[in-house]
Amino acid sequence: MRNASRRCKSNGVWENSSDYMNCKPLDTHSSLYPDPSIVYTSYFYYGGYTISLVALVAAVSIFVYFKDLRCLRNTIHTNLMCTYILSDFTWILTSTLQEWLSASNNACVLFTFSLHYFVLTNFFWMFVEGLYLYILVVETFTRENIKLRVYMSIGWGDETAN
């Protein structure tokens, strides 16, 4: 590593001159990422999110295609997987816009907001999964069961569905 240097006088004051003899010229033709580990990390993220996206789309397709699998439990699972699909897709889109394209500031804000919203819905649908299991196991003999529209309003954050 090459550095510029500057001497400090015995009274604690810096000298007016700096020594640039060990510096080398800035390479302006280098790649976007000078450190190859950053490039590989980015590829791992894209690969992981793409694999996750393909697997989730396959799982949701199975739940939607086979009518015998339609029940409240699987509907909750499907909604949870849909939030992961939307989150994965939005991450890929946002990352692509930020790294490779010169997107406007408004587009970046919109996609970043969407990404955070879908990540938040992941957690709310996990909460819905836990709530459903709690009601199924602990509140087995009560007459009141929560309807799908209540689960949907919790999971997607829609207050008007109540």
CB-CB neighbours of 160 under 10 Å: 5
Question: Is the residue at 48 inside a domain?
Answer: yes
Question: Is the residue at 67 inside a domain?
Answer: yes
Question: Is the residue at 4 inside a domain?
Answer: no
Which tens digits make up the pLDDT trace of 102-111?
A: 656 777 788 8
Question: Is the residue at 89 inside a domain?
Answer: yes
Q: When comparing pLDDT for 74 and 1, which is higher?
A: 74
Q: When comparing pLDDT for 50 and 42, which is higher?
A: 50
**Residue 127's pLDDT is what?**
93
Question: Is the residue at 7 inside a domain?
Answer: no
Find the mean pLDDT for residues 118-143. Answer: 86
Axis-axis angle for helices 105-137, 72-99 (nearest 10): 160
Task: Name the residue range of residue 69's domain.
Answer: 26-156
Radius of gyration, alpha carbons of the chain: 26
User: If you write DSSP's letter for every residue of 46-100 in order, what string do you get?
Assistant: HHHHHHHHHHHHHHHHHHHH-GGG-SHHHHHHHHHHHHHHHHHHHHHHHHHHHHT
Question: Is the residue at 42 inside a domain?
Answer: yes
Question: Is the residue at 3 inside a domain?
Answer: no
- β-partners of residue 5 are 19
Q: When comparing pLDDT for 35 and 20, which is higher?
A: 20
**Quick check: 7 pLDDT over 70?**
yes
Question: Is the residue at 43 inside a domain?
Answer: yes
Overall domain count for the chain: 1
- β-partners of residue 14 are 8
- Which of 84, 83, 10 has the alpha carbon at shortest distance from 50? 84
Return the CATH number at 78. Answer: 1.20.1070.10
**Residue 159's pLDDT is what?**
62
Q: Are 2 and 25 in contact (CB under 8 A)?
A: no
Which tens digits make up the pLDDT trace of 70-87?
A: 888 999 999 999 999 999
**Quick check: 34 pLDDT over 80?**
no
